[in-house]
Amino acid sequence: MAAGAGQGETMALAGPHSAKATSANPPQRLTVLGATGSIGASTLDLVARSGSAFEVFAVTAHANVEALAACARSCGAERAVIGDATLYKALKDALSGTSIAAAAGEEALIEAASVPVDCTIAAIVGAAGLKPALAAVRTGRRLGLANKECLVSAGDVFMREVARAGCELIPVDSEHSAAFQVLKDAAPESIERIVLTASGGPFRDWPIERIAIASRADALNHPNWSMGSKISVDSATMMNKGLELIEALHLFPVATHQLGMLVHPQSIVHCLVSFVDGSVLAQMAEPDMRTPIALALSWPQRMAAPTKRLDLAEIAQLTFQAADEVRFPAIRIARAAMERGGTAPAVLNAANEIAVAAFLDGRLRVPDIAVMVEETLGMADREGLLAEAVGLEAIISCDQEARRLCREIVAGRT
Ligand code: NDP
C-alpha cells in the first residue's frame, strides 16, 4: 500500500464524483505537472467533464508553449509555467488577454508545485519531474503519481518525504493503481507476490532479427495504449516493465523476490496479487489511463470516467505468457539494478533516458538501448558510482554522471 494513501479508510459506494461544487462540497483544487502530455491531457479531459468539481491552479510544460497556453485557457488555470526559462516571453504573449499568470524556468515549476492544492498530478516525463513532484509531496496533500522515474531514481528518498510530509500518494501507473486497489487494507504479511502485467508492446511477437531493424515508427506504434514517446519506447524494449518493478518495490510492502511480471496481450488485467491463503486478486479495466487518473482524483470515492466498458464476452480470451528476457534484455538489466539497489536504479534510469532520446533521434537502433544502459551500469560500477542512495543531492549528481557516461558511450557507438 502506498504510504499514507487511504489506509484505514472505508471504500465509499461507487458513484459519480460530484459534478457540481457546492459550499458543502467545494471544488477540488488541482495542479497538473506535465499538462501538455498524454497523462496531462487525459487528466484535463476528466476535469472538463466534471462540471465544477475541479478548479485548476497550475498547469506546466517543458517547451510546448502553444499547447500549454491552449490548455491553460481551456481549463481556466490560474497559472501556466513553462520549464524552459527562455520561453517566458513567448508564453506571456500566448496568454495575452487572459488573467492567467505566466512563469518560466525550473525554479518556477518547483514553486508552482509547492503551492498547496487538494491534488497534484505528477505527469512530467523522466527524472526532470523529480524536484517538482517532491515539492508537491512536501505540501502534505494528495499526489497522483504518474512519473515513475521519480521512484526509480530516488525511491527511498521520495518515500521518506511522503511519510514525513503526510502526503497521500496515489499511484497513477495502471498496474500500480490496480495493486493499490487490490491491496487496500491488506496486511503486509498476507501478501505473497505482486505480478505486474505487460502488454508486451509492439514487438511482443517479433523475432529478434526483426526487432534489430525496427524503425522509430514501429517502436512508437503501441498496440493497446496511446502514450508519450519515451514511455512508448520503454514499452517496446520492455524497460517500462523493469522500471515498474522498481516503482512497485517502493510503493508496496514487498521484497524484490515477491515481484514478478506476466505478458498479457489484451491489457485488461493490470495486476495480480497472490495472498498467503492461495487467493489471487486482480483488477481489470479497458486500457485507458483515464480510469487510474480518475481513481487518483477521487479516491476513496469513484468518479465517472468516459471509458469503454469492459465486455468480457466480446474480448472472449484473456491470455498470459512469461516475458522473454532474450528478446527483451532490458527486463533482466532492470531487475539486476533493482536487486543491487542504492544508486543503481538511478543510473539505470538516467542511462535509459539518454539511450531512448538517442534512439528517437535516429542515432541508435532498438537493441542498442539495452546495450547502452548495461554498459553505463558497468562503467558506473567500475567508477564507484553504484553506492548507497544517501540523499537527494547524491542521487541527482549520480544521475548527472550516469547521463554523461551514457552520452559518451552512445557517441562511441554512433
Ligand atoms: P508525454 O511525453 O506525453 O508528456 C510529458 C510532459 O512532461 C509534457 O507536458 C512535457 O512538456 C513535460 N516535460 C517533458 N520534459 C520536461 C522537463 N524537462 N521539465 C518539465 N516538464 C517536462 O509523457 P506521458 O504523459 O506519456 O508520461 C508522463 C509520465 O507518466 C511518464 O513518467 C510516464 O512514464 C508516466 N506514465 C504514462 C502513461 C501513459 O499512458 N502516457 C502510463 C503510465 C505512466 P512539453 O509538452 O512542453 O514537452
Domains of the chain, residue spans: 28-172+289-309, 180-277+316-413
Domain 28-172+289-309 CATH (choose: 3.10.310.10, 3.40.50.720, 2.60.40.1220, 3.40.50.1100): 3.40.50.720
pLDDT (0 to 100) of residue 21: 66
321 secondary structure, DSSP code: B
Query: Could you tell me the distance, in angstroms and rounded to a whole number, from the CA of residue 381 to the centre of ligand 1?
Result: 29
| Closest C-alpha to 131, from 350, 396, 408 | 396
Query: Could you tell me the distance, in angstroms and rounded to a whole number, from the CA of residue 36 to the centre of ligand 1?
Result: 8
Measure the CA–CA gap between 298 and 212, rounded to whole angstroms: 43
Query: Could you tell me the distance, in angstroms and rounded to a whole number, from the CA of residue 43 to the centre of ligand 1?
Result: 12
Query: Could you tell me the distance, in angstroms and rounded to a whole number, from the CA of residue 396 to the centre of ligand 1?
Result: 19
Measure the CA–CA gap between 272 and 268, rounded to whole angstroms: 11
Beta-bridge partners for 365: none
Instruction: Choose one of 60, 71, 107, 124 to mutate for the ligand 1 pocket test, by most ligand atoms within 8 angstroms of C-beta.
Output: 124
Q: Are 224 and 346 in contact (CB under 8 A)?
A: no
Question: Which residue owns the Cα nearest ligand 1 atom 43?
Answer: 173
Indicate whether residue 358 lines ligand 1 (CB < 6 A): no
Measure the CA–CA gap between 407 and 384, rounded to whole angstroms: 18
48: Cα separation from own chain's centroid: 22
pLDDT (0 to 100) of residue 20: 59
Indicate whether residue 176 lines ligand 1 (CB < 6 A): no
pLDDT (0 to 100) of residue 2: 34
Indicate whether residue 113 lines ligand 1 (CB < 6 A): no
In ligand 1, the atom with minimum distance to the C-alpha of 35 is 9
Measure the CA–CA gap between 404 and 355, rounded to whole angstroms: 11
- b/e per residue, 80-107, with b = 16+ CB within 10 A? bbbbbeebbebbbebbeeeebebbbbee
pLDDT tens per residue, range 254-288: 999 999 999 999 999 999 999 999 999 999 999 99
| Closest C-alpha to 241, from 221, 268, 260 | 260
Question: Which residue owns the Cα nearest ligand 1 atom 18?
Answer: 128
In the chain, what is the straight-line distance between the N-terminal and C-terminal CA atoms, in Å? 44
| Closest C-alpha to 2, from 136, 174, 162, 122 | 162
Indicate whether residue 63 lines ligand 1 (CB < 6 A): yes
C-alpha cell at 195: 505480478
Q: What is the DSSP string of 251-278?
A: HSS--GGGEEEEE-TT--EEEEEEETTS
Query: Could you tell me the distance, in angstroms and rounded to a whole number, from the CA of residue 34 to the centre of ligand 1?
Result: 6
pLDDT (0 to 100) of residue 53: 96
Q: Are 356 and 373 in contact (CB under 8 A)?
A: no
Global pTM reads: 0.94
28 secondary structure, DSSP code: E
Indicate whether residue 40 lines ligand 1 (CB < 6 A): yes
* Helix boundaries (H) for 50-202: 65-75, 88-94, 106-114, 130-137, 148-165, 174-182
Question: Which residue owns the Cα nearest ligand 1 atom 2?
Answer: 228
Tell me if the domain spanning 180-277+316-413 has CATH number 1.10.760.10.
Answer: no
The position carrying cell 491534488 is: 119
pLDDT (0 to 100) of residue 14: 29
Amino acid found at 260: G
pLDDT (0 to 100) of residue 38: 98
pLDDT tens per residue, range 199-210: 999 999 999 999
- b/e per residue, 198-228, with b = 16+ CB within 10 A? bbbbbbbebeeeebeebebeebbebebbebb
Measure the CA–CA gap between 408 and 414, rounded to whole angstroms: 10
Instruction: Choose one of 231, 288, 399 to mutate for the ligand 1 pocket test, by most ligand atoms within 8 angstroms of C-beta.
Output: 231
Q: Are 222 and 235 in contact (CB under 8 A)?
A: yes
Residues near 26 by Cβ (< 8 Å), separated by ≥ 6?
A: none
Residues of the chain with pLDDT under 50: 1-18
Measure the CA–CA gap between 392 and 61, rounded to whole angstroms: 23
